[in-house]
Each structure stands twice: as C-alpha cells, then as structure tokens.
Chains A and B, each alone.
Chain A
Amino acid sequence: MTTDKDLLKLARQLDPATLANIYDKFSPGLYRYAMRLTCDQDLAEECVAETFSRFLQSLSSRKGPQNYLQAYLYRIAHNWIVDHYRRKPIEPDQLDEKQADNRLSPEEHLGSTIQNYSLRKALFTLSPDQQKVIALKYLEGLENIEVARILEKPVGAVKSLQHRALSNLKKMIDQRDLL
C-alpha cells in the first residue's frame, strides 16, 4: 500500500501519474468539505482548485508536507475558506435550482437553506481551530487523531477544543435562536 510519504516523494518530482492519483484520492473529500462550509458548488470547486494549486506551488518551491498529505490539504482548504469569508462575509444562501436536493419539496429546501445558512454563520463565529474541529469531526466524520494531524495539535488539545466549540456553538444557537 502506498503511503503518503511515498506519494509525496514522487509528487515532489511533479510526476504526472502520482499527481493525478493524489487528485483522484483527495479531491472528492476536499470538495465535500468545502461544499459543506460554503453551500456553493462554484465556490467549493474554486476552493479545491486553489488548494491543489497551492499544494503544487509548495512542492515546486521544495516546501510542502513531509507526510500526512490529507491533513495538509484540509488545512489549505480550510484557510482558503476562512480567508474567503474574511474578505466577503457570509451571506444568506441563494435558492439555487441546480443545487436543490430533488428529494425535498420547495418548502423543505427553503427551510434547509435557512438552517444551513444559520448554522454556517454560527460556525464561522467560532475561533479558526474550533471551526476546524467541528467541521472535520462532525461534518467530515474524521477521527480525533486525524483532526489532531490537521490542526497539528495533540489529541488532548483537540478534545478540549471540541468541548469548547460545541459549548460555544450551542450557546450561540440558544441565545440568538438562530435555528
């Protein structure tokens, strides 16, 4: 089985087959992650493209990760999303037909859109590390050890961040009655 270290060794040589393999392996997860945080397909695709572009730049300048490629890519993606919303504050989602879930009625779709917007707005008021813990653990379903790698923190610190993040999130939801 090819490890991240093996992949990165070849990726540093900008080997096309390895890079294609990396793209196939990680882009779906990154897209899901970006999509859940942005609720915008174009923005999510832009995030994935920019993540891989930054990854290439770091490889060509002989930087980049030594191992744990997934963690590295998620870090880039999350930073890109945070930067994006720093420049352009989060706005209520547009009711986009192409993004609508066909299984939902228009009313359900509207309700879901509002709920998503409110939850994302609350999420982005947390500290960056708390956002990452919530998004990676509860939206992406990653284990604590994987979240710890992405945050470059010990598992204990991740648990503590998670506890504080959930508590803050709940407080905000209750106080503002957002949801």
Chain B
Amino acid sequence: MINDGLDSNLKRKFETLKQIPERNPQVVASAKSDFLRQAAALKANQHQDGWIKNIFPFISINADFPKLRPIVAVLLVIVILFGGSAATVYAAQGSLPDQPLYKVKTWSEDLLLAVTRSPQNQLDHNLNFADRRILEIAGLLAADTPIPQQVHIRLQAELDQALELAAGMDDQQMIMELERIGVRAEVQLQMMSMLMAGDTNSPDPVMAMVRSSLQQQLKLTAQGMSDTQGFRQQFQNQDRNINPTPLQIQGSMTVDSKYSITNTPMHTEPNYSKTSTPSPSDTNYSKTSTPTPPGKKFYGISTGTSNGKKTDPTGTPKQNGNGQKTPTQDKGKKP
C-alpha cells in the first residue's frame, strides 16, 4: 500500500508536487547521445588507463601494506630498467592518433600481424584492430580533435585483409568468417552512425569515408556468403594481378574486365586526391582504391570504366588535387 500512514492533507500536497510538465524529446535525444558518446570515449580510454593497473596492480595494495613499499620501489626500478620498452609498447596500445605513442601502437600491430602465421589468428587481429580504429575515432571526437586520414587508411587495409583471409579458407569456414566479419562491420557501422549523430559540429569527412568503407564491407560479406566461388575467385585474381574474367554475382551483377586489379606498392604515401570510394549502393566487387599504410599490403580492386563511362564512385566526397570537391562529385553524392 503506497499511501499508508499518510493523512489526506499531506496526500493532497504531494499530489500537487507529482504533476510535472512533459520532458522535451529533443533534450532527451541530445542527453542520450551525450551519454553514449561519453561511454564511447571512456571505452577508448580504458585501454590507456588500464595498463598502469595491469602492470602495477600492487600500487593500490601499497597504501594498505606500507611494509611492502621498499619491495615495490625495487620492483619499480627493475621494471623501469628492464621492462621499459615492453611497457612502452603496452602503454601505447590505448594511445590515440594525435599522441606520440600512436606510432608505437601501429608498429606493434604491424609486427603482430607479421609474426602471426595462422590465417585465422591474422583475421582475428585484423578485426580487433578495426575495432580499435573505431574506438580511436570515438576518442578523438570526444577530445574534439580532427580525425586524421591515417585512421581510415589503416581501417580500410584491415577490412580488406580480413576479407582476403576469409577468401583463402574453405567454403564452410569462409561463410562462417564472412558472417563474423559482417556482424562486426554492422556493429562498427552502428557505432559510427551514433557518433555522427552525436557530433554537433559539421561532419568530419574521414568519418563519412569510414562509414562508407564499413557499408561496403557489409555488402561484400553478404555477396561473399551468397557466392563463395565468385568471391574467392575475385581475391585469387587479385593475387595474380590479372584482369578477372566476367563473373556473375547473385545472378544480376557482373564484374568484368573493366575492373582492373591494382596492387598499390607498399609504403605508398596516402594521397586522398586520388581516392575513389565506391558508393554503398555499388553492387560490384570493386573495392576502394585506398592508399596503403606503410607495412600493409593493399588488396583492393580499383574501379575502372564501364562501357566507356567512368563508374560512379560516390558515397564519400572525392577531392581534387587541392583537396577540394570537384563540381561533378556532388551530383553523384548519395544522401
């Protein structure tokens, strides 16, 4: 019984206090968005903060056990002397692209991929690194820092490599992995949409490119699951660096020799003026011709011409040599 013990006078007074105006839905949406952005930023920083506790878990014990202090001091000296480099690499894992340790982080990622033999583990690493890129974007947005193109470049390479590794597996495993890649891309895409919705500033062009890459990834995984043979052949053709033979995809789409295969040389400097990201609605197997980050192999297929006409690589704004949009690009820009 809610009102037990309450006399009628007090009950009446409470009733007046109960009446409240309706909550403004716009304020609610904005507050919710802020809350989720804060959560994303905290998640991005968790790696960064976590390393201290992981390396020095005894620091909190120190206050409770003062006798341990000399031992802790000696251990700290040893750790600093001998474990400095390892700790630096570990500490770098939570760094953001605008921080000095970020280079160490990307270097350690490249190294990990280079020493990993199992394709399954390589695929796992690529997916995890792609997650990291999204978290980095969230962290940068929270800090109101522009997102460097390097983040998109690395993400694209990781997405490409994950698909290529899946294509090298047998049918059953490939479908399983493609499904996993697709689910991951879907979650990442949701996260990007959330971040973009919560960003009150003008949308960052790199975010748009990242979203487009993720949409493309989703499409490719879906296509791969419906036509494993065609999907695999596409990647085999890439490795041989030849033009693919006409390929029927889902009975209606054709990838023909107009899609020339490009293996961008390694250590290519990023040049966004030549970037042509396919539109999310592009149903071909064509991939983004994205500059390759140092140490990463590029697996994308460059878009060529179709029936003498240029294919429409919309979805993200193209730029001319000056980094400005060309007049024709806005026409093809999708909402």
Which chain A residues have a beta carbon within 8 Å of chain B's beta carbons? 14, 16-17, 19-20, 23-24, 27-28, 31-32, 35-36, 39, 41, 45, 48-49, 52-53, 56-57, 59-60, 98-101, 112, 115-116, 119-120, 137-139, 141, 143, 162-163, 166, 169-170, 173, 179
- Give A45 to B28 CA distance when docked, in angstroms: 8
Pick from A31, A56, A173: contact of B35, CB under 8 Å? A56
Knowing A16-B39, A138-B2, the reply to whether A120 touches B34 (Cβ < 8 A) is no
B5 and A163 form a contact (CB under 8 A): yes
The contact sample of 27 A-B pairs, CB cut-off 8 A, is: A14-B39, A14-B43, A14-B46, A27-B28, A27-B31, A28-B23, A35-B20, A35-B21, A53-B35, A56-B35, A56-B38, A56-B39, A60-B45, A60-B46, A98-B21, A101-B19, A101-B21, A112-B16, A119-B13, A119-B16, A138-B2, A138-B3, A138-B6, A138-B10, A166-B6, A173-B10, A173-B13
Min CB distance A129 to B, Å, is 16
B31 and A36 form a contact (CB under 8 A): no
Residues of A within 8 A of B40 (CB): 14, 16
B191 within 8 A of A: yes
Top 7 A-B pairs ranked by shortest CB distance? A14-B43, A35-B20, A60-B42, A138-B14, A52-B35, A19-B39, A14-B39
Interface size on B, residues (CB 8 A): 36
Residues of A within 8 A of B31 (CB): 27, 45, 48-49
Min CB distance A176 to B, Å, is 13
Residues of B within 8 A of A101 (CB): 19, 21
Residues of B within 8 A of A56 (CB): 35, 38-39, 42
B17 and A36 form a contact (CB under 8 A): yes
Min CB distance A50 to B, Å, is 11
Pick from A23, A139, A166: contact of B32, CB under 8 Å? A23
- Give A98 to B31 CA distance when docked, in angstroms: 19
Pick from B11, B36, B46: contact of A19, CB under 8 Å? B36
Closest chain B residue to A112, Cβ basis:
B16
User: Which residues of chain B in 72-94 are interfacial with respect to chain A, using CB atoms and an 8 Å cutoff?
Assistant: none
Closest chain A residue to B14, Cβ basis:
A138
Min CB distance B31 to A, Å, is 5
Closest chain B residue to A178, Cβ basis:
B13
| Additional A-B contacts beyond A23-B36, A100-B21, A170-B7 (5; CB < 8 A) | A27-B31, A60-B45, A98-B21, A101-B21, A166-B5
A49 and B21 form a contact (CB under 8 A): no
Which chain B residues have a beta carbon within 8 Å of chain A's beta carbons? 2-3, 5-7, 9-11, 13-14, 16-21, 23-24, 27-28, 31-32, 34-36, 38-40, 42-43, 45-46, 49, 190-191, 194
A20 and B38 form a contact (CB under 8 A): no
Closest chain B residue to A49, Cβ basis:
B31
Residues of A within 8 A of B3 (CB): 138
Residues of B within 8 A of A139 (CB): 14, 17-18
Pick from A57, A100, A116: contact of B17, CB under 8 Å? A116
B36 and A16 form a contact (CB under 8 A): yes
Residues of B within 8 A of A17 (CB): 190
A41 and B21 form a contact (CB under 8 A): yes
Pick from A115, A141, A169: contact of B16, CB under 8 Å? A115
B46 and A27 form a contact (CB under 8 A): no
Closest chain A residue to B3, Cβ basis:
A138
Closest chain B residue to A96, Cβ basis:
B21
B17 and A119 form a contact (CB under 8 A): yes
- Give A31 to B11 CA distance when docked, in angstroms: 21
Residues of A within 8 A of B35 (CB): 19, 23, 49, 52-53, 56
Residues of A within 8 A of B45 (CB): 60
- Give A159 to B21 CA distance when docked, in angstroms: 31
Min CB distance A119 to B, Å, is 5
Knowing A49-B31, A139-B14, A169-B10, the reply to whether A32 touches B5 (Cβ < 8 A) is no
Residues of A within 8 A of B34 (CB): 49
Closest chain B residue to A120, Cβ basis:
B17
B18 and A36 form a contact (CB under 8 A): yes
Residues of B within 8 A of A27 (CB): 28, 31-32
Min CB distance B71 to A, Å, is 25
- Give A64 to B83 CA distance when docked, in angstroms: 33
Closest chain A residue to B28, Cβ basis:
A27
Min CB distance B17 to A, Å, is 5
